[in-house]
Amino acid sequence: MELILRALPLLFQGLGVTLALSGLAVAIGANLGLGLALLRRSPSRLLAGFARAYGTVFRGTPLLVQIFPFYYGLGQFEAVRDNAPLWWIIGDGARCAVFALALNTAAYTAEILLGGLRSIPSGLLEAAEACGMSRALRFRRIELPLALRQCLPAYGNELVLVLVVKGTSLASTITVLEITGHAKRPMSETYAIFEVFAIAGAIYLALNLLLIGLVRLLERRLSNRAPPQAASAHSASEPKRTARPVSPGA
Amino acid sequence: MEFGLVAFWQDGWVGAILRGASVTIAVSLASMLAGLVAGFACAVVKWRGLFPLTLAVDVYTSLIRGVPELLGIYLLFFGSVELVTQVATAFGFARFADSGYAFVIAVIAIGAISGAYSTEVVRGALAAVPEGQVEAARALGMTGPRIFRRIVVPQMLRIALPGLDNVWQVTIKDTALVSVVGLQELMRTAYIGSGTTRHPFIFYAVAGAVYLAITLASQLGFNGIERALRGRARG
């Protein structure tokens, strides 16, 4: 019992690390993913091919196989050891984990975002072009907001389940002390295995519920401002509540 | 000392990598099968609405999805060393207890995870089979189990195939996690190799390439099956 009381503050400390890892990884990875999605759509075959290869590699290999080479692998190269900023990143377990998680989530983010972009009815794009919008403006004002709203369920899923829960727990394998990292020692050294698992698991589940709840809240808030059938080709041009005649409340 | 691909070939690491890859595939297949059995059973439970079993299934899927696999693997591993060794010895498999132990843990852990995902896929596929088919079959006088066996399941399998392909991809990638408890699969081989030769990058690059090869081969396989099944359907 007292073992559990001793483990509890450590596990909550780990919670802070988990959140920090996830937050930083998302901040970097989401932007990277946006860039990758843009690359995929570019007319240059080299850039599009690179983006597609990136996605295949980072989604087709296990996250562990991506983390380990960063932590253990890059250090073998002289060029990396002498390069101060690079060493700063991969020298520390936590920073390395953030980097690896960011690269991984960028690949999934790009895929989800592309799905959202593909689901936009072409009528909207043609209307924007007819109004004289440049491609960049059209992307910024029309495509991106619509795509984001469309892919929010899938993206929320990817964020919470894949990144926060599973991704950060893998950081424990390169000495990062987040929740799983703090749970491993009690589990391997004492007999209170199930208790520690239960507490750590409960923390993860609570985190899950909280984050998924936030995502659902965001979804609902975003969809309140749009007409009920925002995704269908015809009623998207009939705004019910907004006064502007062109864009459907985005 | 340069440790390029040539030294890799000559020092016999290729064999080790291939052995590791075969263990990975073996674990993945066993887990996928176990997961399909469990997932199918759970999906039918939810589809039929057999309360209170549906509650158990919900708890199961929520737990697996909400708790990281690594934690579950640690639980199974640290929690059952004694138990499994005793059971294995009782059955006369004491020799295999050590090496086969991690394999059994791996299949149980990854199988449970795969089962949770399979449950969702199969449940969605069962719900997607048109109701009218079941009603027509009943009008023709077919009985429940027969309807299930001859009408629902074949169509459900075809609908579930893309989702099951996804579950398979996740299963393959999750097997890498079991390397942390010592199972000598692909990831573990790369780890040992990189530690021994102090040239980690090439080992992880090769391991990554092998995982990609398995992934892409599976993708082709699934596409082939999908095409074959679509040929037999009537539109």
Residues of chain A numbered 150-169 and touching chain B (CB < 8 Å): 161, 165-166, 168-169
For chain B, give the secondary structure using H, E and C: CCCCHHHHHHCCHHHHHHHHHHHHHHHHHHHHHHHHHHHHHHHHHHHHCCCCHHHHHHHHHHHHHHCCHHHHHHHHHHHHHHHHHHHHHHCCCHHHHHHHHHHHHHHHHHHHHHHHHHHHHHHHHHHHCCHHHHHHHHHCCCCHHHHHHHHHHHHHHHHHHHHHHHHHHHHHHHHHHHHHHCCCCHHHHHHHHHHHHCCHHHHHHHHHHHHHHHHHHHHHHHHHHHHHHHHHCCC
Per-residue pLDDT at A241? 47
Residues of chain A numbered 52-111 and touching chain B (CB < 8 Å): 56-57, 60-66, 68-69, 72-77
Cross-chain residue pair B190–A65, CB shorter than 8 Å: yes
- pLDDT digits over A39-81, tens only? 888 888 898 899 999 999 998 888 988 888 888 877 667 666 6
DSSP state of A191: S
- CA nearest A208 in B: which residue? B66
Tokens encoding B161: 């195939």
Please give the single-letter amino acid code of residue A195: E
Q: CA of A165 to nearest chain B CA: how many angstroms apart? A: 6
Per-residue pLDDT at B86? 64
Q: Cα dist. B72→A180, A209, B34 in Å? A: 10, 19, 17
User: pLDDT confidence of A244, banded at 50, 70, 90?
Assistant: very low
Contacts of B70 in chain A (CB under 8 A): 166, 169-170, 172-173, 180
> Backbone dihedral region of B185: left (phi > 0), alpha (psi from -120 to 50 degrees) or beta?
beta
Q: Quote the radius of gyration of chain A (alpha carbons, Å).
A: 22
Contacts of A199 in chain B (CB under 8 A): none
Per-residue pLDDT at A149? 84
> Whole-angstrom Cα distance, residue A228 to residue A225?
9
User: pLDDT confidence of A235, banded at 50, 70, 90?
Assistant: very low
Per-residue pLDDT at B130? 85
Query: Among residues A49, A167, A37, which one has the least CA distance to residue A111?
Result: A37
DSSP readout, A114-131? Answer: HHHHHTS-HHHHHHHHHT
Task: Identify which of A73, A183, A194 has the shortest CB distance to residue B200.
Answer: A73
Cross-chain residue pair A205–B68, CB shorter than 8 Å: no
Average pLDDT over every residue of A86-102: 81
> Whole-angstrom Cα distance, residue B120 to residue B160?
10
> Whole-angstrom Cα distance, residue B98 to residue A248?
64
- CA nearest A197 in B: which residue? B75
Contacts of B190 in chain A (CB under 8 A): 65, 68
Task: Determine phi and psi for A233, rounding to 5 degrees.
Answer: -65, -30
Q: Which of A26-40, A102-116, B150-164 has the lowest mean pLDDT?
A: B150-164
Q: Is B102 within 8 Å of B27 (Cβ atoms)?
A: no
Per-residue pLDDT at B96? 52
Query: Most confidently modeled of A71-85, A102-116, A125-139, A174-188?
Result: A102-116
Contacts of A204 in chain B (CB under 8 A): 66-68, 71
Cross-chain residue pair A193–B78, CB shorter than 8 Å: yes
Mutation target for B interface from A61, A157, A203: give the one with most B CBs within 10 A: A61
Cross-chain residue pair A197–B71, CB shorter than 8 Å: yes
Cross-chain residue pair A187–B74, CB shorter than 8 Å: yes
- pLDDT digits over B19-49, tens only? 888 889 999 999 999 999 999 998 888 888 8
Per-residue pLDDT at A234? 46
Cross-chain residue pair A205–B71, CB shorter than 8 Å: no
Q: Is B95 within 8 Å of B131 (Cβ atoms)?
A: no
Average model confidence (pLDDT) across chain A: 80
Task: Identify which of B66, B187, B194 has the shortest CB distance to residue A62.
Answer: B187
Q: Select the more confidently predicted residue: B23 or A162.
A: B23
Cross-chain residue pair B205–A187, CB shorter than 8 Å: no
Cross-chain residue pair A62–B176, CB shorter than 8 Å: yes
Cross-chain residue pair A62–B67, CB shorter than 8 Å: no
Per-residue pLDDT at B90? 67
- Please state whether the peptide bond connecting residue B68 to the residue before it is cis, i.e. omega within 30 degrees of 0: no
Which residues on chain B place their C-beta less than 8 Å from a C-beta of chain A?
62-63, 65-72, 74-75, 78-79, 169, 172-177, 179-180, 187, 190-191, 194, 198-201, 204-205, 207-208, 211-212, 215-216
Task: Identify which of B63, B71, B187 has the shortest CB distance to residue A169.
Answer: B71
ipTM passes above 0.90: no
- Residues of chain B with pLDDT below 50 are 1-2, 235
> Whole-angstrom Cα distance, residue A17 to residue A207?
13
Put simply, whether the predicted model's pTM sits higher than 0.90 gets the answer no
Per-residue pLDDT at B88? 64
Q: Cα dist. A224→A132, B106, B180 in Å? A: 29, 46, 46
Tokens encoding A107: 């690949």
User: pLDDT confidence of A166, banded at 50, 70, 90?
Assistant: confident
Per-residue pLDDT at A250? 42
> Whole-angstrom Cα distance, residue B154 to residue B193?
45
Average pLDDT over every residue of A136-143: 83
Q: CA of B76 to nearest chain A CA: how many angstroms apart? A: 9
Cross-chain residue pair B67–A204, CB shorter than 8 Å: yes
Per-residue pLDDT at A236? 44
